[in-house]
């Protein structure tokens, strides 16, 4: 589902965020990317989201080579991927419902269908009763769940998350991870950047460890 072939990302300053990285995530897998800050976790996700382009190498997502996605086609490409961010990136000038509905509005889904799907997504993160509230009135954990509802409302095949539990305490982190786990059980491929190794070990998922832009090891607890 996600495949990187010998990917290097060099920034204008000269430092390399990723150096000849190759990895692959199968369809329906839930994989964690770990590593210290600066190891290249975020850069990896940003390449998948086409926020950045690789200096060399290939990034292939759902059989699409991102190199061939033209600038004008980036919005359509991004609509196929669900994205969750550490700082939620919610819009605070509108209620929870409108935040979750935004991807559907962008995709041009009719008003009635959108309403149904937004409620379904909010139900999956147990926030149906807060659809009319402003995100500001929600706790950090609830805000993150709104962000997750927004990421899955379009039913993407792939979901990427950058430190989704970075600002949450252990209980809330576990709750968020359980939500991800449930999506994974219905076939969504997930790639999650996190440094919370104890939490990852409890979930028992494959872990890709990065160090200075390279693969450190690939630890699969099932093998």
Partner 1 sequence: MAVTRNSDAVAPVRSSSAFSIWLTRHASTSIGALGRLSRQPFASLMIVLVIAVTLALPAAINVVVKNAQSVSSSWNNALDFSVYLKLDVSVSEAEGLARLIRQRADVESVDLVTADAALAEFKLASGFGDALDQLSANPLPHALVVRPGPGNTGASLTLLQEEIGNLPETDLVQVDTEWVQRFHAILDIVRKAIAIGSALLGIAIVVIIGNTIRLDIENRREEIEVTKLIGASNAFVRRPFLWTGFWYGLLGGTSALALVQYGLYLLKEPVTRLAGLYQGNITVVTLGISESLTIIGAAVFLGLFASWVTAARHMRRIEPR
Which residue ranges make up the site for partner 1 (CB under 8 A)?
A: 49, 51, 75-80, 83, 89-91, 93, 102-111, 113, 120, 123-124, 126, 150-152, 154-157, 182-183, 185-188
CB of 32 or CB of 180, closer to partner 1: 180
Nearest approach, Cβ of residue 82 and partner 1 (Å)? 9
Nearest approach, Cβ of residue 209 and partner 1 (Å)? 26
Nearest approach, Cβ of residue 99 and partner 1 (Å)? 9
Nearest approach, Cβ of residue 20 and partner 1 (Å)? 25
CB of 123 or CB of 169, closer to partner 1: 123
CB of 90 or CB of 209, closer to partner 1: 90
185's CB contacts (< 8 A; 6+ apart) are none
Nearest approach, Cβ of residue 91 and partner 1 (Å)? 5
CB of 98 or CB of 212, closer to partner 1: 98
CB of 60 or CB of 219, closer to partner 1: 60
């Amino acid at each position: 589902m996600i495949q990187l072939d010998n990917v290097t990302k060099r920034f204008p300053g000269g430092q390399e965020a990723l150096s000849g990285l190759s990895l692959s995530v199968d369809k329906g897998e839930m994989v964690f990317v770990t590593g210290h800050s600066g190891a290249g976790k975020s850069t990896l996700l940003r390449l998948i989201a086409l926020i950045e382009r690789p200096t060399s190498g290939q990034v292939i997502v759902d059989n699409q080579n991102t190199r061939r996605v033209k600038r004008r086609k980036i919005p359509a490409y991004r609509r196929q991927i669900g994205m969750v961010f550490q700082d939620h990136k919610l819009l605070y000038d509108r209620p929870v419902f409108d935040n979750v509905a935004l991807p559907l509005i962008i995709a041009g889904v009719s008003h009635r269908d959108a309403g149904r799907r937004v409620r379904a997504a909010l139900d999956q993160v147990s926030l149906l009763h807060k659809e009319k509230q402003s995100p500001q009135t929600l706790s950090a954990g609830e805000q993150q769940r709104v962000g997750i509802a927004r990421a899955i409302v379009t039913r993407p095949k792939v979901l990427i998350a950058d430190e989704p539990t970075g600002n949450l305490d252990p209980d809330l982190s576990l709750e968020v991870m359980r939500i991800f786990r449930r999506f994974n059980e219905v076939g969504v491929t997930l790639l999650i950047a996190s440094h919370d190794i104890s939490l990852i070990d409890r979930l028992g998922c494959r872990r890709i460890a990065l160090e200075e832009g390279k693969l450190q090891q690939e630890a699969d607890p099932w093998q």
